[in-house]
Structure 1
Amino acid sequence: MKLRKVTAAAAAALVLSLTATACGGDDGDDSSTGSDSGGGKIKIGIKYDQPGLGLKEPDGSFSGFDVDVATYVAKELGYEADQIEFVETISADRENALSRGDVKFIAATYSINEERQQKVDFAGPYLLAHQDLLIKADSDISEATDLNDKKLCSVTGSTSAQNVKNDFAPKAQLRERGTYSECIAALQSGAVDAVTTDDSILAGFAAQDQYEGQFKLAGLKLSNENYGIGVKKGDTETMNKINEALEKMVSDGAWDTAVKENFGPADYKNEPAPEIGNIVK
């Protein structure tokens, strides 16, 4: 009887030991959670087709201001560059990508507005952009009203060109293309007189080596676009940590450096870094 009691106790101890070991093993496996422990990977949504902002290069690397911001923020959350997985998030799918948990956050020319704030939470803003015009370097267009009887290009489905026609130049001739790259090519060839969208996007295209010195921004401020970093609705912890990272990026000079490196060749007159939570209407 005495031997049986010792054996039972030893068996119980063994079970407890195995249980504790199993629990300890689970604690170390967070590679797919997207947490900020630094132990695994983090998925971040960006654009793949916007030079100067979010661009997937032919060699598979990524470049642009949004990429630089996202990389800085990820590092502050505990992730090195090789732990980041950039995921293409097109405009129409950004809210769904966050709600599904496909990505931890999105930095993709994501303008903060009331409709989107009903679906996601935003850190930032981290850049204040404006709708503007991209024109040839020798163009005499200086105001939106100068576009009357001229050809104006934007992408199919965009409201930018229609806004110019409705509010400034009713006689403007709208030309739609499938991508901004096509609009830029049309501007280069003389098929259109101007391209319109956010000045940051236009500056990114104009800064490409093949267009050096050919284009300029008109410098108009036809709208205010407050770029924010989107996180899943209710994820206040991540939003607050990203805001802290953005404030640090501005204070240590990394924000200014990223602006100059990505937009400098286009002579982009950027606004100062915006104050966190200050949405310019």
Structure 2
Amino acid sequence: MKKKILGVILSLTMVAGILTGCGQTKETNTGATAKARTLEDIKKDGKIKIGVFSDKNPFGYVDSNGDIQGYDVYFAKRIAKDLLGSEDKIEFVYMEAANRVEYLKSAKVDVTLANFTVTKDRSEQVDFALPYMKVALGVVSPDNALITDVDQLKDKTLIVVKGTTAETYFMENHSDIKLLKFDEYQEAYDALLDGRGDAFSTDNTEVLAWALQNKGFSVGIESIGSIDAIAPAVQKGNKELLDWINNEIKALAEEQFFHKDFEVTLKPVYGDNIDPENLVVEGGELK
């Protein structure tokens, strides 16, 4: 009887192994990605899946009431309204900086609006639409040990988030600076508050906002690296959806939509500390 039971268990284990092996072959051995939903698929479903941050205030974050807010979110809702007739016809998918490309490749989202900076490497893996924002890197640190020049970071620890342009920039240009890396923005800010690092670098727009809300910290380096574009992204080859988003961005310029977005979501945070012309991009045209 024991032999019979053991035989059944072994048989089931072999079947499970075969099935698991097949799944791995499809996803990892061939490098295949899940097929993205077309524009028509999204319309038929009646809901669009858009990836955003949930911890990057003021661009994508969950507020004290549990509602998702921010500059990227404001735009995402307009996409849903113009494409599907209601801003409620949207499924927000929360993501981390390091999985933005992966979520598009695996079709977990239709569009990524998670403060996604356009880079050459990323452009080889996903398709970017026209930009709706521009940004550089900034560095925030405690007032009592303020970092005002990148040379001051030598022999110190700089906090960055994995998969960001800050991580890439400092790895490629300042290899002598020790990097402390985290998966999530909140983890990075907690590390700065706890003194586990001497400074934190990410988009200057974000560190400026954070410093305004956290007494005792300032952005000593307001701009480092190149001025980059931030744009929506779709899975590589999803041309119809990409074309629709590009046309949407061009059309929204007629009403100065992104300036309105700035007034609603960013002005309450920045006040007069940031000129919208240094951040907002209308019609997909960088100036």
Structure-2 change in CA distance of 1:139 and 1:252 (3 Å): farther
1:86 is displaced (CA, Å) by: 0.8
Higher helix share: 2
Q: Which TM-score applies when normalising by structure 2?
A: 0.68
Partner deviation per Cα, 1:211-254 (whole Å, 9 max, x = no partner): 26743362123234322211233332322221222234344233
Corresponding residue for residue 232 of structure 1: 235
Structure-2 change in CA distance of 1:246 and 1:191 (3 Å): same
- Asked if 1:84 is matched to 2:87, the reply is no
Q: Which of the numbers 252, 259, 266 marks the counterpart of 1:249?
A: 252
Corresponding residue for residue 126 of structure 1: 132
Q: Which of the numbers 47, 50, 56 marks the counterpart of 2:53?
A: 47
Are the equivalent residues in 2 in contact too, given 1:141–1:147 (CA < 8 A)?
yes
1:117 is displaced (CA, Å) by: 2.7
Partner deviation per Cα, 1:84-117 (whole Å, 9 max, x = no partner): 1111244444344334543332211222233333
1:277 is displaced (CA, Å) by: 6.1
CA RMSD of aligned residues (A): 3.4
Inter-partner Cα distance in structure 1 for 2:187 and 2:225:
22
Structure-2 change in CA distance of 1:235 and 1:152 (3 Å): closer
Inter-partner Cα distance in structure 1 for 2:51 and 2:164:
21
Partner deviation per Cα, 1:152-184 (whole Å, 9 max, x = no partner): 2223576735744763583x4544445332332
Q: List gaps (5 residues or longer) in structure 1.
A: 1-31
Q: List gaps (5 residues or longer) in structure 2.
A: 1-39
Inter-partner Cα distance in structure 1 for 2:146 and 2:187:
22
Inter-partner Cα distance in structure 1 for 2:172 and 2:241:
40
Q: Which residue type is aligned with residue 229 of structure 2?
A: N
Inter-partner Cα distance in structure 2 for 1:243 and 1:189:
42
Inter-partner Cα distance in structure 2 for 1:139 and 1:260:
33
1:255 is displaced (CA, Å) by: 1.0
Say which is worse superposed, 198-207 or 227-236, in terms of deviation.
198-207
Q: Which residue type is aligned with residue 238 of structure 1?
A: L
Structure-2 change in CA distance of 1:153 and 1:94 (3 Å): closer
Q: Which TM-score applies when normalising by structure 1?
A: 0.70
1:257 is displaced (CA, Å) by: 3.1
Structure-2 change in CA distance of 1:45 and 1:181 (3 Å): closer
What are the within-5 Å matches in structure 2 for residues 111-190 of structure 1?
111-137=117-143, 140-155=146-161, 160=166, 163-164=169-170, 167-168=173-174, 170=176, 172-190=177-195
Q: Which residue type is aligned with residue 257 of structure 1?
A: K
Are the equivalent residues in 2 in contact too, given 1:70–1:107 (CA < 8 A)?
yes
1:132 is displaced (CA, Å) by: 1.6
Structure-2 change in CA distance of 1:69 and 1:147 (3 Å): same
Q: Which of the numbers 17, 24, 41 marks the counterpart of 1:33?
A: 41
Count of residue pairs brought into register by the alignment? 244
Inter-partner Cα distance in structure 2 for 1:199 and 1:131:
5
Inter-partner Cα distance in structure 2 for 1:191 and 1:112:
30
Are the equivalent residues in 1 in contact too, given 2:98–2:164 (CA < 8 A)?
no
Q: Percent identity?
A: 26
Say which is worse superposed, 212-221 or 233-242, in terms of deviation.
212-221
